[in-house]
Amino acid sequence: MTDQPRILGGRYEIGRVIGRGGMALVSQARDLRLGRDVAIKELRTDLAGDPTFQARFRREAQAAAGLNHPNIVSVYDTGEEMDPQSQTPVPYIVMELVQGRTLRDILRDGRKILPRRALEFTVGVLEALAYSHKSGIIHRDIKPANVMLTSTGIVKVMDFGIARAVADTSSTMTQTAAVIGTAQYLSPEQARGETVDARSDIYSAGCLMYELMVSRPPFQGDSPVSVAYQHVREQPVPPSQLDPEITAPMDAVVLKALAKDPDDRYATAGEMRDDVQRILGGQRVTATLPPPVPPLVAAPSASAASAATAVLPAGAAAANIPVDQTMGGMGATMGTGTMPPVGPEQRRSRAGLWWTLAIVSLLLVGLVAGWQLMLRNQEPAVKEVPVPAGLLYKTEAQATALLLEVGLKARTSSEETADATTIGQVLRTDPIAGTPVPEGSEVLLVINAGPKMATIPEGLLRMKEEDALKALADAGLTGRAVAANDEDKDDVKGTVINVTPAEGTSIPATQVVTLTIATGQSRLPSLLGMTREEALQEAADYGFNNLVFEPEDGTTVLRTDPQPQTLIDRDARVTVHLQPAAPSPSPTPARRTPDPTTEPDPSEPTPSPSPTP
C-alpha cells in the first residue's frame, strides 16, 4: 500500500525532491487547481521558527512575486504549512518550474566555458538585476547556485528577496554562511556588515563573471572569514593571467565590477550589461583597467651608482620589450638608454651642485621643523576620537546619544529605500565606524525614510478584476490576481472576493496587493440515492441550478454527469440519471358469469353433454 501524496495548502500535490540547499528543500509539485507543474521551496524548520524571519520572508516573497521578467524565475504563490513534528508554521514559495541546470552544476562538470558563452550568461544575469533594481529589489545573493540555464539556453535568476530575509535575521558570519551559502560572492560591504545597495549585486555579478571565465572565483580560502577578508582587503588576479583567451576589455569590465569602493563600480547593472554587450559586439568598452600597483625599488648601492637603472614591469624583459614602449613612451624622460662618458670636470661641477642642493634641503627642513614646533607651542593639540561602532540600525535618537558620549555631534539626512522594516534607523554613517575624527566634529547619519507609501483604495470587493487592477494602478500600487480556492455560491465569476492586505491599509508602494478572484466554480455534491426533489435542493445549496433529469419520471439518483466532487462552473449543465419507475401491472379481465334470471338466447347453440366413458 503506497502512502498518499502530501497536499500543501490544499492545492499543491508534492512530488519528488529536485534540490536541497542550506536553507530550503525544493520539490516538484502539481498545482491541482490550474493543472500545471510547479516548484515549491519549503524553508528549513529552524529558520521558520523565527517570527521575525517569517514576517520578513512574507514581505520579501510578496515583493519578489511582483517581478515579471524573462530572466527571472517567476513566483506564483506563497503560504505556510504547519509542521506536524515541531508544530511550527513553515513558509513556502511556489515558483515556476524551470527545466534546466544551475550554473553551479555546469561549473562542477569541469568543462571549460568559452569566454563568449560566459559573457552571454553574464548578460542574462545583468538583465534580471537591471529590472529588479528598477523595482527597488536587491538580490543580495547572486551566485552560480541561484542562476538557472534552461534547456533552451535562457538564463533565469531565482531566490530574489530570500537572502534579504535570511540576512536580516542572521547575527554572525557563521550563520550567514550556513544560510546564504558560500562567502565567495559577498561584496566588501556585505562582509563588513554594512548596508548594501544595488552596487553590491554588481560586485557579486562580477564574482560570477570571473568564475565563469576562469572556472574559479576571484578569492578562495579555508573559511568564510578568510574569504571575506580577501574581499575587503585584497585585489583579485586579473583573469587574463589565468587564461590567455581572456582579453583586456574583459579584464577591465570584471575588475571594475570588483572594485572595493562601490563608487568605483558600475553605477547600475544596465551599465555593466551594456559594456559586456560591447565586448560581444567587438566595440570599445567604457571601463578601463585599474592602474597597476607600482613596484618597490631599493636605493641603489655605491657599486651600482655608475650604472643606468630601469625597472621593467613583470614579463617585459622576457618579452624583449623596449623600456620606452613598456612605460608608455616615458623612457626618454627617465634617462634610459646609453649614457655618454662623464669627464673629470663634469664630475667636479656635479659634486658642487649636489653639495649646494644638500645644504638648501637641510635649511628647508630646519625651517619647516621650527615652524611646526612654534605652532605646536602656540596652539593646543586637537584630540581625535574614532567614530563609534554600533550606529547602524539604531534610531536617530540612539545614534545621536552614542555620538555625544564620545564628544561628537550628529548631522542627519534621510534617504528613501524599499525597506519598510528599518524606517527611522541609521543606514550608514560618514565617516564610517572606526575613522578618527577631531573631537566635536559632526558625523553624518543617513536615516532610512522607507519606501513611498500608498493606501489601498476602498470598494475593491465585488469589483470586476480588470476594474480593481486599474483602481490599484491609479492609487500607485501593483495588483496581482489569484484564483479563489474557496468561494461562496453567490460569488460572481471574475469579481474580487478578497483583498490582501485589506482595503484602506497604508503600504509601501512597491508591495504587491493580492486580489482573490471568484472562479464561478464549485465542486458538484454527491446526489446518489436522492429523490428528484432532494437532488434539486442539495444542488441548489451549492449553487447548481441547471439540472436535467433522465428519465423525467425516474425515482432516485443513480449517477450524475459530471461525477461528484468535480470542479465545474456553477451554471454548467448537470445531467442526473434516475432509476426508472417500475411499470404499473396490467388489470386481469374478469370472467363473465351469466345471470341466472336471464333466458338463454335461442340463437346460441346448446352445449352437448360430454359422453361418459
Binding residues: 41
Binding residues for ATP: 41
Instruction: Please confirm, yes or no, whether 491 is among the known catalytic residues.
Output: no
Map residue 274 onto helix, strand or coil. Answer: helix
**Contacts for 67 with CB less than 8 Å, ≥ 6 apart:** 74, 75, 131, 132, 135, 137, 160
The active-site residue out of 141, 201, 251, 275 is 141
**Which ranges constitute the DSSP H helices of 260-322?**
269-280
Q: Give percent helix, percent strand, percent coil of the chain, each to the nearest 5.
A: 30, 20, 45
CB crowding 378-389: b at 16 or more within 10 Å, else e: eeeeeeebebbe
Are residues 72 and 128 in contact, defined by beta-carbon separation less than 8 angstroms?
yes
DSSP per-residue string spanning 399-444: HHHHHHHTT-EEEEEEE--S-STTTTBEEEEESPTT-EEETT-EEE
**Contacts for 504 with CB less than 8 Å, ≥ 6 apart:** 455, 456, 458
Containing H/E element for 468?
Answer: helix 465-474
Are residues 142 and 122 in contact, defined by beta-carbon separation less than 8 angstroms?
no
- What is the phi/psi pair of residue 327, to 5°? -90, 20
Question: Which of 235, 243, 182, 179 is closest to 208 using CA atoms?
Answer: 182
Give the single-character DSSP code of 533.
H
Question: Which of 510, 519, 437 is closest to 481 using CA atoms?
Answer: 519
The three three-digit cell numbers of residue 531, written as one number: 429523490
Give the single-character DSSP code of 523.
E
Question: Which of 429, 438, 554, 451 is closest to 509 using CA atoms?
Answer: 451
Known catalytic residues?
Answer: 141
